[in-house]
Structure 1
Amino acid sequence: MKEHAIKMGRDKLYDLLRAYHLLPKRGRSGIRTTYSKHHFYKYPNLVKDMDVLRPNLVWCSDITYIRTGNGWSYLSLITAGVEHMLILTSSWVGLFNLA
């Protein structure tokens, strides 16, 4: 750019490259552990429009994977829906290794 006597800052240069689709696409920063477009049956949200009038009426659960030094570990949580109290946890260390 110095050869052509063009003065432009970094941000302006990036805006110009972006306008002409010349910036490389960024890759994923990590491993995706959730795939929601699977062909298995997806259950509807049964409590979406429900009025929860008393404690301990609705429980929520979730499963997630956590990267550890031994690979990937699985963590399951069950919470009470209204009180947000943790009811039960379960984990399995070294479930699988995605290298």
Structure 2
Amino acid sequence: MPSILLQAAGGGSLFTNGFFMIAMLVVLIFFMIIPQRKKAKEQASFMDSLEKGKEIVTASGILGRIDKIEDKIVTINVGNKTYIRVTKNAISKELTDAIYPPATD
């Protein structure tokens, strides 16, 4: 008798198990990978749009104005002729938009 109960509760077929695994993979791609790619594209386009005079915030929270851009190095004026050099990818789009929201027409 116990073996009959174990067989009944044993689980579904290979098709059912495979379907749930594929469904979980699709959900993972839809909710995690696609938004991450979109965010990376936005950050890359933001870094390409950097120009002299633009006010920015670094990922560590340093506020400043871009003074010079040399390839991947950005010189930032942080006040009273005080300059620091950071890499371009240290500039954060999210923090910059939070502190200096884009102007809307």
TM-score (norm 2): 0.25
- Larger Rg belongs to: 2
TM-score (norm 1): 0.26
Structure with greater strand share of residues: 1
